[in-house]
């Protein structure tokens, strides 16, 4: 991990979240940018990918082969090993923004928080979220033994209806816990003279948690 410290110092980067609004985002504008792709974001046609970040073991177990086939500069992972893979370490559920993957970090109930910490470690000065809808529905999923929910049909929560399609096991989204993590990240960036912005086309994430900016105005 140490090789990534300040690799992009002073530059900007984007985290491509996976909400439906990613379909209303012209991802071709991200060509030439530093882009962190999360979980199954590789399904988004035309999305340029610099780094992959996956920290949920349910995602890793169900799509390991597909994930390993994604072309990127590095793959930051929870447990997957292989060429170009870098394993992240986690603390117990103690809310904290560490921003240093050479030490155990808090997952923050979302892979986005892990990507925020990686970007911080790399020296990113301005970080923008796209496709961060911060909105989930559960009428197509149910508890069915073991951990998580099992999807019963098309996925309404992501840019691709097959993202967590029928039969897929996934963890429930906890918006209040996620918001707590985001606030920690924004505060850490601000203290370091950096910033995080929400450039999502549609979002239910309040602006007092992450400030909004217009995506098209960035280009």
pLDDT at residue 2 in the model? 96
Domain carrying residue 42? 2-142+173-218
In a domain, 71, yes or no: yes
pLDDT tens digit sequence for 111-165: 999 999 999 999 999 999 999 999 988 877 777 777 888 998 999 999 999 999 9
Q: What is the pTM of this model?
A: 0.96
What band does 92 get if pLDDT is binned at 50, 70 and 90? confident
In a domain, 160, yes or no: no
What band does 172 get if pLDDT is binned at 50, 70 and 90? confident
Domain count, the chain: 1
Domain of 15: which CATH number?
A: 3.90.1480.10
108-144 burial: b if 16+ Cβ within 10 Å, else e: bbbbbbbbbbbbbbbbbbbbbbbbbbbbeeeebbeee
In a domain, 151, yes or no: no
């Amino acid at each position: 991990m140490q090789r990534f410290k300040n690799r992009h110092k002073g530059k900007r980067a984007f985290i491509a979240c996976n909400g439906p609004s990613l379909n209303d985002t012209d991802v071709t504008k991200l060509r030439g940018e530093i882009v962190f792709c999360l979980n199954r974001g590789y399904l988004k046609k035309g999305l340029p990918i610099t780094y992959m970040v996956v920290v949920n073991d349910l995602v890793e177990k169900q799509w390991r082969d597909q994930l390993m086939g994604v072309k990127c500069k590095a793959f930051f992972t929870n447990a997957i090993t292989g060429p170009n893979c870098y394993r992240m370490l986690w603390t117990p559920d103690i809310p904290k923004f560490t921003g240093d993957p050479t030490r155990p970090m808090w997952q923050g109930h979302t892979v986005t928080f892990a990507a925020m910490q990686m970007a911080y470690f790399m020296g990113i000065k301005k970080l923008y979220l796209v496709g961060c809808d911060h909105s989930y529905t559960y009428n197509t999923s149910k508890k069915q033994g073991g951990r998580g929910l099992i999807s019963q049909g098309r996925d309404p929560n992501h840019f691709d209806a097959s993202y967590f399609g029928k039969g897929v096991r996934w963890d429930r989204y906890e918006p209040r816990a996620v918001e707590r993590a985001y606030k920690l990240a924004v505060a850490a960036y601000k203290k370091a003279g950096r910033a995080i912005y929400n450039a999502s086309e549609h979002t239910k994430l309040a602006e007092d948690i992450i400030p909004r900016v217009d995506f098209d105005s960035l280009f």
